Chains A and B, each alone.
Chain A
Amino acid sequence: MSSTNPRRAGIRGIATHLPEHVYDNAALARDFPGLDPEKVLATVGIARRTIAAPDEFASDLACDAARSLFATCGCSPGDVDYVIFCSQSPDYPLPPTACLIQAKLGLPTHCGAIDVNLGCSGYIYALGLAAALIESGQIDCALVLTADTLSKFLAADDASVRTIFGDGAAATLVTHGHDAVFGELGPWCYGTDGRGGPHLIVRDGLRGSSETPSTSYRSAAGSDRFGQPIRMHGAEVFAFTLKAVPALVEELLQAASLGPTDVDLFIFHQANRMMLDTLRKRLKIPEDRFVYHLEDQGNTCSASVPLALAHAIASGRFQRGMTAALVGYGVGYSWGATLLRWQVPAGSEGVHGSDI
């Protein structure tokens, strides 16, 4: 776990992008007269959800995030030698959205490009792949894009999902050595239980459409879609989370030989306020070391952890010398966690009493 390992992977920069259109609680209450906007805010912790335009898709959001990353972190498309696009709502079944993004962003043609088909846990998995490619010497610089437009899959008349989900994207540059501004990544903990698949599902695709006839439905994105909307069994997902996530966090701390108080900031997938509160209390994490970042955009699936991390960096909650736990969980079921240690510059270790 030495920070002197020149190939140790870390994060150089993060940028985000949210669509302009917003679906707020007043609009929600107009569509669903039984819903009380105040109660929605108090329980799910969301005031408004950012929703992609009918002609705006996950690759558009991802590319906008990537362009703002290039504009702010002192790197250019030519520096990227691998792009990982992680989403549950890719532009097409094929080709891979990552390949289209290579062309849209003008990344070099010697650049590798793959899609990762994961949602709420996806940021951890995409970072893990990027870190492994870098630390094994295969590549030097990975662009990790996490972007989702779940609004396309939300039936306009399904309050249980429209209350929660928003669209968004984040771009993270993963590199190594002195280029890694925001510090080192790892250890890595992963988990999967596919028995939970049916509890958060879009019954589309080859098997889905053969089992469940496609229908036309009005989506939350404001357009008609032929297929199946997302179906969520909230109680089942909640029960899974209460079991899996505390065990995941304990496993991560053990793998890093840390105690709970050694982590300065816990950044969980921003599912909804009630779930985050319940997890935080089960894990006995004080509120000042726990991030809530969903009020203004909702649960953005694969983009939620990096959106929360970027906000923690921008607002000064995550600072040099700190360790953050990144924890993802959800659709699959799939879960994963890692640590991000924002190292103190060489020569100033004593000042901060660093253990990294």
Chain B
Amino acid sequence: MAPTFDDFVTRLARIVEEEVSALTPDRELLSVPLWDSLAIVTFMAVASETYDRLVEPERIAAAKTVGDLFTVIESESAS
């Protein structure tokens, strides 16, 4: 399926164990305590499974905010 911000943020909230409402587009990823190496790998698995997209780790590392992370997913083409 094509990613929408609402769907993406619901899945991200599950990974980092936060409320959806707390993950606004301008929320800094560094301020999300559970956004760690395991969360990143889980996020890559979700991107593959849900959106059929392979996301490059350096693009994830470059994302500063929740909104940036969504842009990374959105701009990858389905594989």
Contacts and interface: CB of A to CB of B under 8 A. Distances in A.
A278 B55 CA distance: 13
B55 A239 contact: yes
B42 interface: yes
Interface string A252-277: 00000000000000000000001101
Nearest to B34: A34
Nearest to A160: B37
Contact of B44 (A43, A233, A242, A281): A242
A233 B57 contact: yes
Contact of A282 (B38, B40, B48): B48
B54 interface: yes
Given A43-B38, A235-B40, A278 B57 contact: no
Interface string A150-172: 00000000001000000000000
A239 B37 contact: no
A168 B48 CA distance: 31
Given A242-B54, A243-B54, A274-B42, A235 B37 contact: yes
Nearest to B57: A235
Interface in A236-258: 236, 238-239, 242-243
Main secondary structure of the interface of A (DSSP, over half): helix
Given A239-B55, A243-B54, A277 B45 contact: yes
A160 B39 CA distance: 12
Nearest to A35: B38
Contacts, number: 44
A234 interface: yes
Interface of A: 43, 160, 233-236, 238-239, 242-243, 274-275, 277-278, 281-282
Q: Which 8 A-B pairs have the closest CB atoms?
A: A235-B57, A278-B45, A235-B40, A238-B41, A236-B57, A274-B45, A278-B48, A239-B57
25 contacts: A160-B37, A160-B38, A234-B37, A234-B38, A234-B40, A234-B41, A235-B37, A235-B40, A236-B57, A239-B44, A239-B54, A239-B55, A239-B56, A239-B57, A242-B48, A243-B54, A274-B42, A274-B45, A275-B45, A277-B49, A278-B44, A278-B48, A281-B49, A282-B48, A282-B49
Given A234-B38, A275-B45, A278-B48, 18 more contacts: A43-B38, A234-B37, A234-B41, A235-B40, A235-B41, A235-B61, A238-B45, A239-B44, A239-B54, A239-B55, A239-B57, A242-B54, A274-B41, A274-B42, A278-B45, A278-B49, A281-B48, A282-B48
